[in-house]
Chains A and B, each alone.
Chain A
Amino acid sequence: MASTDTSTPSDTVPEIPRSELRARVEARDPDLVLIDVLPPDSFAAAHIPTARSVPYATMTESAVRAALPDRHADIAAYCGGFT
């Protein structure tokens, strides 16, 4: 992603534009694994379609492995809002 003046650690993770995400979610793209890192109750209340819940608080290697059966899939993660 393009470098910005306000460089934070999160900038090292490339961004997925919302238009691309929307299109791939709509198409139910099997190559995209979408992860919701919000708490389980938030996930239950509302989440982006096709998303899997991997709450940040319980994010361990085994949990992530279990949620991501295909290592070669495209992974996108999201949380509450712009952070």
Chain B
Amino acid sequence: MRDYRGGLEDWIAQGWPLEATAELRTASAGATSASGPGAPHDWADVFVDLIERRTTGQLLQLWLGIIVACGLVYWLAGISPRRTMLIEFGQPVAMTFGGLLTSLYFSFVTATSVGFGDVLPIGPARALAIAEAVAGLLIFGAIISKFVSRRQERLVEETHRIAFEDRLDRVQTNLHLVLSDLQAIATLCDESRVPMARIRTRLESAVIVFSGELRTIHDVLYRPQQTPEEPVLEGILAMLAAALQELGDLLACGATADRSVVLASQLAGMRRLTDGICGECVPQAYANHLHEWMDRVRAHAARLA
């Protein structure tokens, strides 16, 4: 077992090819094709998957559809008196409107597994009634579980949203700190009294924080589980552009001319990330002014190399 430490981000940063799938090749899907001893586990997964992809309304429609369809079958079987499927009070259910209502009533009573027993299935209707009862119960259970998990899903969503906002808040705060620190370093750089080594370490640590936040922003743009609100994103991009500009100016200052290995590698990483930040290269379309900010970010970053 080995770890590809750079991860997807590093792979993307190298500009190497990626694949995307419409359908998920998850572990369970892989096991299905292998058809190993884990098979019972898999059909349950498939079933759960099927239910999860349907909305509550769709399931309800399916459930009602099955009941009505079965009711019609019980009723239509009465076309030929010898093939009657339902018996009520000892008499076959007739092909009348009343008979249709009785058939539908029997269908509901069966599908909900109530089974009053006032209408009885005979012959092949028994098999159909059993199948209907099983299917009806399963689907009804799925509907109930949808209702139950609804609230939970909303809570999870809320948690994700809060975590996401926290993350953006942190990015903003850190960008502000980086920007003000870069400015402070720039003033130090102009004064020749301060030792170079001190300036250099301070610059290094600021750049490390900066590149971490840049990575987060890149992430938000490239793998958006959620899209930030426009003004928030604009603020972040504007601050990012300002900080990149400041950093570019600072690197031009003589004291930072010889760069340490750490600084050089951080800057190279930042260049790779910002290469992917521009109006046309981000995978999602944003408002025009946001694209302009992205272009400006890339233009400022071009000076870092």
Contacts and interface: CB of A to CB of B under 8 A. Distances in A.
A32 to B, nearest CB: 10
Interface stretch (B22-30, B66-74, B110-118, B166-174): B22-30
Interface string B1-43: 1111111111110101111111111111011001010100100
B100 to A, nearest CB: 46
A56 B88 CA distance: 58
A7 interface: no
B89 to A, nearest CB: 55
A81 B9 contact: yes
B4 A58 contact: no
A79 B41 CA distance: 27
A74 B215 CA distance: 29
Interface string A34-51: 101010111111111101
Contact of B4 (A15, A43, A54): A15
Interface in A9-64: 10, 13-16, 18, 21-22, 34, 36, 38, 40-49, 51-55, 58, 62-64
B260 interface: no
Contact of A45 (B1, B4, B223): B223
A66 to B, nearest CB: 4
A45 B283 CA distance: 11
B225 interface: yes
Interface residue range, chain A: 35 or more
Interface string A65-80: 1110100001111111
Given A45-B20, A53-B25, A18 B3 contact: no
A52 B4 contact: no
B214 to A, nearest CB: 11
Given A44-B22, A48-B19, A66-B38, A81 B27 contact: no
A69 B31 CA distance: 9
Given A13-B1, A52-B25, A54-B27, A18 B10 contact: yes
29 contacts: A13-B1, A15-B2, A15-B5, A18-B4, A18-B11, A34-B4, A42-B223, A44-B20, A44-B22, A44-B23, A45-B20, A45-B223, A46-B8, A48-B11, A48-B18, A53-B24, A62-B41, A66-B28, A74-B2, A76-B1, A76-B3, A76-B4, A77-B3, A79-B8, A80-B9, A80-B223, A81-B7, A81-B9, A82-B6
Given A38-B8, A52-B27, 14 more contacts: A15-B5, A41-B225, A43-B25, A54-B26, A62-B38, A65-B38, A66-B28, A66-B34, A69-B30, A76-B2, A80-B8, A81-B8, A82-B5, A83-B5
Q: Which 10 A-B pairs have the closest CB atoms?
A: A81-B9, A66-B31, A78-B4, A16-B2, A67-B27, A63-B27, A13-B3, A46-B18, A81-B7, A78-B7
